[in-house]
Structure 1
Amino acid sequence: MAMSTPFSFCMAAALTATSVHAVAAGTACMASSGNTAATLVELYTSEGCNSCPPADRWLSSLKSRVDVVPLAFHVDYWDRLGWKDRFGSAAFSQRQGQQLAVNGSRFAYTPQVVVDGADQRGGPRLPSSRHASPVAIEMTQAPAGGDTTASISLAAPAGMTLAAYWAVTESGHRSDVSAGENQGVTLLHDFVVRQLVDVPAWMAAPGQPHALRLPALSAPDHDTRIALVVLDGRSGKPLQALAMKACR
């Protein structure tokens, strides 16, 4: 059952070190994760939920954190209250339900914050330190929103099953809500997931990088970013994440 919950703030001290490096290099954009795990933050939210705006603002506050990959999944089950969230998707509502078995939550609710695959009911708690990841990602995108390719390398001594997903996000959106629980409120949104592409599981082997490809985007707009999240193929838990601004 979907429900709304008050959003409280409990955030660890800001981290200073980062292994993420992104540059514009002539004809392409590139980013590399290194072997240190980035923090993945997945927010399930809705414009029809009156306790979601504080969570949306908190997610926006992560803009300066290059060690964090934020993603906002707008669900559609609050649309019935009279305001249709233009970013809402039944696929994201379904995904939230499917992820309960991974993140440990007993039910779907908004705003729900999931950090590194774990439900953060009661307020988000970012890790105070970072750990090594068995996975490293190198990402390259052709200019003007062209194809994006990624190379996934495994540092673990033995092979393991991996899976992944691509998420294309947009920031800087504004909505003037005229109905529902947030009637009369102007909402600002960042890291809104506009495209989600699941990558089937594969058997990864040390010393044998695995290549992935995301087809060309439509014209990048609203501060478009491309994120790739690599998962443990058995548990579904994230192992590494990387995001970069789309080439223009």
Structure 2
Amino acid sequence: MATFATKFIAACALATWASATFSMSNQCLASSGPTVTPVLELYTSEGCSSCPPADKWASAFKGKNVVVQAFHVGYWDYIGWVDRFAAPAHTARQNEVAGRNRLRSIYTPQVVVNGRDLPQWRGAEQRISGQKESAQLRIEVKQLATDQFEALVTPVNPAAPVPAWAAYWTVTEHGHNSKVKAGENAGEFLKHDFVVRQYTQAGEYRSADATPKKLGFRSIAATPGHERQVNLVVFDPSSGKTLQALSLQCTG
């Protein structure tokens, strides 16, 4: 008969083995390249009749080297349909973007590329995905556990580090849809990709040295049946310009 001590040691060994199994079989990591990965932000709403074409347009970037984020906003909810993907933080971010672009108001659908308002977004796919600006920062992101991630942000040229940068994380998901029953899109069946399910600011960093910065992130649980991307965007806090970005898609 096994003693309590034997059972305890066996349980600990099993837990250690399970942890090691996760790290070996489900390790998920990615590194940014020598050029800046473009960041496309779409501000949209299920209560906006002109938004579905923009949603469909954004979906065409699946599989391309572009970090796409569809921020749903709720300021059209009063028309009669509440957008379940909207969050006040998304509207707050859109207001920040409007301020940097000196816009008088916010609107939907709005497309923002690398921090700049892009009213003429139709037909701009190649121009967006084909950008080749040299990166000043390198990002490495790895998955530590199912919903725990860590990033390392490092200057490409230690002799000339970026004096100031800020960052934020998002979790985006594909394959969501809604049968709209009221408002401007009443009767429509809407399909969404790159839906922002979590937006978390990661701070602002002012540094004159080349010391790598480590950023931790705990995500919400993945929604079953929907591909999930964990994104980190590093940008200039003054202009909003993208300095580097990375999207990580993990299966575990």
Structure 1 stretch 237-246 or stretch 69-78: which is displaced more?
A: 237-246
In structure 1, the gaps of 5 or more residues are: 1-23
Partner in structure 1 of residue 178 of structure 2: 175
Q: 2:143 aligns with which of 124, 137, 141?
A: 141
Q: Does 1:91 align with 2:93?
A: no
The alignment covers a number of residue pairs equal to 223
Q: 1:105 aligns with which of 86, 94, 103?
A: 103
> By how many angstroms is 1:204 displaced?
3.8
Amino acid at match of 1:245: Q
> By how many angstroms is 1:104 displaced?
4.4
| Cα pair 2:38 2:131 within 8 Å, conserved | no
Structure 1 stretch 127-136 or stretch 224-233: which is displaced more?
A: 127-136
TM-score in terms of structure 1 length: 0.84
| Cα pair 1:204 1:210 within 8 Å, conserved | no
In structure 2, the gaps of 5 or more residues are: 1-22
> C-alpha root-mean-square deviation of aligned residues, in Å?
1.9
Q: SS state of the match for residue 152, structure 1?
A: strand
Amino acid at match of 2:70: A
Structure 2 CA distance, aligned partners of 1:228 and 1:237?
14
| Cα pair 2:47 2:81 within 8 Å, conserved | yes
TM-score in terms of structure 2 length: 0.83
Amino acid at match of 1:130: K
Structure 2 CA distance, aligned partners of 1:212 and 1:104?
30
| Cα pair 1:154 1:206 within 8 Å, conserved | no
| Cα pair 2:228 2:250 within 8 Å, conserved | yes
Give the number of the structure whose alpha-carbon radius of gyration is greater.
2
| Cα pair 1:104 1:118 within 8 Å, conserved | no
- 5 Å-filtered alignment, 1:201-212, equals 201-205=204-208, 207-212=210-215
Structure 2 CA distance, aligned partners of 1:223 and 1:106?
36
| Cα pair 2:71 2:196 within 8 Å, conserved | yes
Structure 2 CA distance, aligned partners of 1:155 and 1:237?
17
Partner in structure 1 of residue 4 of structure 2: none
Structure 1 stretch 110-119 or stretch 30-39: which is displaced more?
A: 30-39
> By how many angstroms is 1:179 displaced?
0.5
Partner in structure 1 of residue 201 of structure 2: 198
